[in-house]
Structure 1
């Protein structure tokens, strides 16, 4: 097996002992302000700067279900100074004292001297053992019924799925699943049994040898990674962004991503305009970090369901993007990161008493009703399974009410329908005056305002 840090070479801040010394001498300062703004809670974070630190802070916020409406980020001179305007999912200020304390505590722990900003990067697909569960990573060609088949294989091998997250994008599917032994409720430790899991899932993903990137690796250890970050890495390594060229949708539906160089400051300026959605900032910063770019400044604004993000970046080697090929790859990777989490299909939520084989049973019912899962999140809370599925017809069509009634009859009233997919927006013919007013009202560029330290 390769090193657990495979994929990360030396970086601009690779001296661990010196970094630990700097973090101990300059502990992070987190200030939560609920007075300055009537609409949002303001979180200010100051600390010694390191590669990946911005992603770490944003990751804490999304894990606490916070929505970042605005942010101003600057980190020149080796110091990280960021301001975030956050709300809860209903758009209200954070007033719960426990949540406010968690924000400060979790960010402080994430940036403290004992933390590592760059989690270990495992191979793209594999089975890893932790103390109480096994982690299974899957990457392969998407097809109707794939999740049902994977779940059935695991159930037949007496592996219980306690949590899972599945993404599909274009023709590819990625999954991170945590499973336990049906008998012990702990991790499967028998090497022969793990090998059978690997063999059967590898065969399933290969689909007769037509699927690329479906090989599996088995490793051991307790290193863990943020699931959504890992899914981004898996799909990035798999090259799902290359599919965008072959299956380009209408331009009006695509995110608008541009890259230009500010030669006087040796920055590449990445600008993103797209429809706003949950966790968008995490997805874009995660991708820039995994592409090994350092964000020195950023201006983030989300309003009226539209998002504007502007990043001033350099590669970890200190240089901006020097070639058109490099700029095009960054654009494609960011477009893919934005699109991966776009939920296609009807949202179904299932809250039921957990039992072995529940995921296999539910996905089998979906398959029998000609439904395919485009995204899924499976969790276990105590004795309850809380699962969310986005489904559509196996040919990509919308799901009708008759099908919904059929699967609800089979699964039970614990299955809740959260909405039908939104109809596509009609393409508007934009007049020249629209661009004038759009430029007047969009957030001002940091470049045009000259808000930089010399």
Structure 2
């Protein structure tokens, strides 16, 4: 007998989502100092993090937020400012926010049909190969990684490296030096893997019991990857960077050396309580405020398989207060002291990863395969190590941002940077002695200066395409 089955329209599966959201409203009238972004939608796992990715990718500062996602409905309010702490008045930027959140959810409509989804991806296109690495950090490790990639004829299109608690995680997008396309040859990828694995192996000074919990891995190459900063969080979390190999804890930012911030303000507190009546676990975070703080916390909770049902975020001066009502994806609260301690340590690590003490070097130059290893080698020669790096290609130029520290642990000597200036000609770059603490930007005294007409003697042999900027 012929078996008949009822017809099921495949478009019906996301029918409710297409009708009920997300609706994005941008309001510049109700608040004098901030732009209010409201998002209403049917609740869906990961929606909050995707909205935050849109806002943080645009470098918007979130000063206040209210989140509620009970009863199958997601309602969120963000009070945001631009990088200069002003309201968002540009109509194109406002339209971009509204369209980008729709694109994140895959809900294009005729009014945004021409919107390019690739503009919302935090990373280059599919024409590049993604490489992930994590290992025990040591002075000069990032320099060695960049040198290996250059030796293997890899053009670094974009790269980000974070270091925390003796771990260094690096995610890079590379292309072939000659064709500027992705690297697909399995033999060549195996060769790159072998060289990078050798570099990532810890030196003999790190082969002791204090570092037995830190893994060293070349994680592979692929052509597609999730949000780059989220991936760095995932790599660090999987490598358990929240456990300091030295056995010390990091309960505060006091080591950051902010002289005009008293000890009470520097403290970072993460507390976890129970709300038995409603079946929630309450996570409270108090720490110095900074950009992307909310993203880092939500990213970590999401990757630890916790669902955020309600949240309240507020900034008071230089301090941030954030409260989250969460449950595990299986519906349970945090019932044991061990679970609560683990969540607390992971959130502390997530907050600390992006905070970096040191001198910020920002360098612009024409694209060149040999540029990055040349710069990082010179840094090593002058006794500086890279604590964090952000490299991005924009058109025909590459923006290189490094946070460098003295290898010995002392404060970076500005005279050393002056000596570097004489060696690095003709590359133009800016130097700022700063910490990643935005709210104190007007009160922390920072030494800054600009170098012009640099790096010709070092780089003419690498490329004749450089120009002075």
- TM normalised by structure 1 equals 0.83
Task: Quote the residue 1:305 is aligned against.
Answer: 318
Question: Are the aligned partners of 2:251 and 2:269 in contact in 1 as well (CA < 8 Å)?
Answer: no
Q: Per-residue CA shift, 1:227-276, capped at 9, x if unaligned?
A: 10000000000000111882224655441000000000000000000000
What is residue 190 of structure 1 aligned with on the other side?
185
- How far has the Cα of 1:408 moved from its partner? 1.9
Match for residue 33 of structure 1 among 24, 27, 37: 27
Superposition RMSD on alpha carbons, in Å? 2.1
Q: CA deviation at 1:319?
A: 1.2
- The residue number in structure 1 matching 2:451 is none
For residues 42-121 of structure 1, the aligned pairs below 5 Å read: 42-112=36-106
Residue pairs, 1:369-380, within 5 angstroms: 369-380=382-393
Distance 1:249 1:97, change over 3 A: same
1:21-420 correspondence to structure 2 within 5 Å: 21-112=15-106, 131-208=126-203, 210=207, 212-218=214-220, 220=222, 222-243=223-244, 246-249=247-250, 251=252, 252=263, 253-412=266-425, 414-420=428-434
Question: How many residues of Structure 1 are paired with residues of Structure 2 in the alignment?
Answer: 393
1:369: Cα distance to partner? 0.5
SS of aligned partner of 2:83: coil
CA distance in 1, matches of 2:143, 2:12: 49
Deviations 1:265-322 (A, max 9, x none): 0000000000001110000000010111111111100121110000011111111111
Unaligned runs of 5+ in 2: 1-9, 109-123, 253-262, 438-469
TM-score (norm 2): 0.80
Quote the Cα distance in structure 2 between the aligned partners of 1:244 and 1:68.
33
Given that residues 302 and 308 in structure 1 are in contact (C-alpha distance below 8 angstroms), is that contact kept between their aligned partners in structure 2? yes
Aligned equivalents of 1:404 and 1:148: distance in 2? 18
Query: C-alpha displacement at 1:25, in angstroms?
Result: 3.4
Contact in 2 for aligned 1:130/1:187 (Cα 8 Å): no
CA gap of 1:422–1:203, structure 2 versus 1, over 3 A, is closer
Structure 2 counterpart SS, 1:322: coil
Q: Structure 2: how far apart are the matches of 1:18 and 1:138?
A: 41
Q: Secondary structure at the match of 1:277?
A: coil
Q: What SS does structure 2 have at the residue aligned with 1:240?
A: coil
In 2, are the aligned partners of 1:165 and 1:176 still within 8 Å (CA)?
A: yes
Partner Cα separation in structure 2 for residue 190 and residue 422 of structure 1: 40
Question: For residues 368-413 of structure 1, what are the alpha-carbon distances to aligned partners after superposition, in whole Å with 9 as ceiling and x for unaligned?
Answer: 1110000110011111111110001112221111111122222235
Question: 235-244 vs 139-148, which deviates more?
Answer: 235-244
With over 3 angstroms needed to count, the CA separation of the structure-2 counterparts of 1:288 and 1:270, relative to structure 1, is same
Q: Which residue does 1:427 correspond to in 2?
A: none
C-alpha separation in 1, matches of 2:12 and 2:381: 58
| Residue 418 (structure 1) shift | 1.7
Secondary structure of 2:307's match? strand
Q: Deviations over 1:134-188 (max 9, x none)?
A: 1111100000010111111111111111110000001110000111111111111
Return the alpha-carbon distance in structure 2 between the equivalents of residues 105 and 171 of structure 1.
Answer: 40
Taking the aligned partners of 1:18 and 1:329, their CA distance within structure 2 comes to 41
What is the alpha-carbon distance in structure 2 between the residues aligned to residue 235 and residue 30 of structure 1?
Answer: 33
Which segments of 5 or more consecutive residues in structure 1 lack a partner in the other structure?
1-15, 115-128, 424-454
- Residues 291, 98 of structure 1: alpha-carbon distance in 2 compared, 3 angstrom cutoff: same
SS in 1 for 2:356: coil
Question: 3-state SS of the aligned residue for 1:398?
Answer: coil
Report the Cα offset of residue 77 of structure 1: 0.2
Question: Take 1:420 and 1:61, find their aligned partners in 2: how far apart are those partners?
Answer: 24
SS in 2 for 1:56: helix
